[in-house]
Amino acid sequence: MDETTLATVRLRPKADARAIRHGFPWVYADELVTDRRTMALSPGALAVLEDGERRPLGLVTVNPKSKIIARMLDRDPGARIDQDWFAARIARALALRARLYDAPYYRLVHAEADGLPGVIIDRFGDVAVVQPNAAWAESLLEPLVAALVGVTGVTAVVKNGTGRSRGLEGLAEETALLRGEVAGPVAVPMNGATYMADVLGGQKTGLFFDQRDNHRFAARLAQGARVLDIFSHVGGFALAALAGGAVSALSVDASTAALELAARGASASGFSERFSVRKGDAFAVMETLAEEGARFDLVICDPPAFAPSKPALEAGLRAYERVARLAAPLVAPGGYLGLCSCSHAADLSQFRNASARGIGRGGRRAQLLHTGFAGPDHPMLPQLAESGYLKALFFRLDG
């Protein structure tokens, strides 16, 4: 891509160009000169970013409709964003995952940290699911997918074009099979269990790889335990706990489809006799279990993002507190409670405090044993590390 054919956008004189030079990947709308020419650029357009003194900083993608108006793609302002460029980024990402994991089941590309802003790619063996959550990636999806197939050798590629991020970029929702065939849910071996991922119709890409390390820690607490997995999805914590030696596991979720996949995973893992499900609203089911006098040695709650944005933060923290309040009485004396948050807006301290308040309101006292985060296939840029979304707190409750 010839630099002379590209538009040029420029930082305002008071904007901190040093942050960009030192690796910060975003330019906010109030940091950029937003003249008529810049505002007329189509979402996802490529442009050369200059500092206030017109010195080039790199090649960016611009979306005038977004609060993050520009995202850095390449420090070389003359870079060509083509299949070869995508292949180099994907190959670098693949080299890291191949070092970390002995089987090709992982998050292959994690957006900015892997040099592909707004792009998520999860790999399920020979199947890859691509989330082009930014306008530039949507417009360049074909060379991206071609590079993905060429580098990894996957035979099927699914586009999952759903979620809040696409709406913020002005993109429509769409799920489509772009390459090959997918015959039903994909079996995923992980932590000694087999999970079933619905890559065409499930939540996100079909499975939450980010919880893998937290599943493993929970499994260490599960030997000989009665386990309750609330907001279970496809059995994430329950199946890992059964692989770790739990005597029983009950998965609770509002989705019939998710629970069916969890049951199929339990069967494929050889855990069916120790596994059961209960469909219903998680809060209502916890209240019912308390009325029934049910107690479990390990209770895990992994709800959806209650605070996906700052305006939702206060309500989200109240919801996390309520989860902890209802879950704590279900833990047997001396048992364990795991509480998770995938909310970007709620930082670790806020989530920990809400969880502690809830445990106290549930009439229990607790030791905080372990704090978990997303695994290493979900790397972060150091400049964005404070916005790490996934937090998992593991407590031992009083006797």
Rounded to whole angstroms, how far apart are CA atoms 265 and 190?
Answer: 11
pLDDT tens digits along 215-242: 999 999 999 999 999 999 999 999 999 9
**How many Å apart are CA 327 and CA 289, to the nearest integer?**
10
Alpha helices in 276-347 (DSSP H): 282-291, 313-327
Per-residue pLDDT, averaged over 92-116, amounts to 97
3: pLDDT strictly greater than 60:
no
pLDDT confidence tier of residue 288, bands split at 50, 70 and 90: very high
Question: What does the pLDDT read at residue 172?
Answer: 87
Mean pLDDT of 90-109: 98
Amino acid at site 89: R
What is the overall mean pLDDT for the chain? 95
Looking at residue 2, its pLDDT comes to 45
Q: Using pLDDT thresholds of 50, 70 and 90, give the confidence band for residue 5.
A: confident
Question: To which residue do tokens 């596991």 refer?
Answer: 249
Residue 275 has pLDDT above 60, yes or no: yes
CA distance 344 to 234: 23
pLDDT given at position 1: 44
Cα–Cα dist 262/256, whole Å: 10
Report how far apart, in Å, the C-alpha atoms of 57 and of each of 72, 76, 237, 278 are.
9, 8, 45, 55
Rounded CA-CA distance 391/27 in Å is 27
Q: How many Å apart are CA 173 and CA 162, to the nearest integer? A: 5
Which range, of 158-162, 214-218, 221-225, 291-295, averages the lowest pLDDT?
A: 158-162
The answer to whether 350 and 306 are in contact (CB under 8 A) is no
At 70, give phi and psi (nearest 5°): -140, 140
3-state secondary structure (DSSP) of residue 11: strand
- CA angle (49, 379, 347) in 5-degree steps: 90
User: Strands 331-341 and 391-397: what pairing?
Assistant: antiparallel
Looking only at the bridges linking them, the beta strands covering 366-372 and 391-397 are antiparallel
Nearest in space to 320 (alpha carbons), one of 298, 297, 344, 350: 350
Q: Helix-strand-coil percent breakdown of the chain, rounded to 5? A: 35, 30, 35
From first CA to last CA, the distance across the chain in angstroms is 66
Given a contact cutoff of 8 angstroms between Cβ atoms, the answer to whether 301 and 328 are in contact is: no
pLDDT of residue 247: 98
In terms of DSSP bridges, do strands 45-50 and 186-190 run parallel, antiparallel, or are they unpaired? unpaired
Using a cut of 0.85, tell me whether the model's pTM lies above it. Answer: yes
Is residue 23 pLDDT above 80, yes or no? yes
Q: Do the Cβ atoms of 333 and 348 come closer than 8 Å?
A: no
For the record, the structure tokens of 286 come out as 């916890």
Q: Return the sign of the alpha-carbon dihedral for residues 80, 82, 88, 92.
A: positive
Confidence of residue 386 (pLDDT cuts 50, 70, 90): low
Q: Judging by beta carbons within 10 Å of its beta carbon (0-12, 13-18, 19+), is residue 60 exposed, middle or buried?
A: buried
Residues 29-56, buried b or exposed e (16+ Cβ, 10 A)? eebbeeeeebeebebbbbbbbbbeeeee
Q: Calculate ∠ Cα 159-210-24, nearest 5°.
A: 80
- Name residues whose C-beta falls within 8 Å of residue 328's C-beta, 6 or more positions apart in sequence: 337, 358, 359, 362, 363, 364, 366, 397
Look at residue 148 in the predicted model and tell me its pLDDT. 98
Give the model's pLDDT for residue 169.
83
Residues 6+ away with beta carbon under 8 Å from 40: 64
Assign residue 269 a region (left: φ > 0; alpha: ψ between -120 and 50; beta: otherwise): alpha
Which residue numbers are catalytic?
A: 342
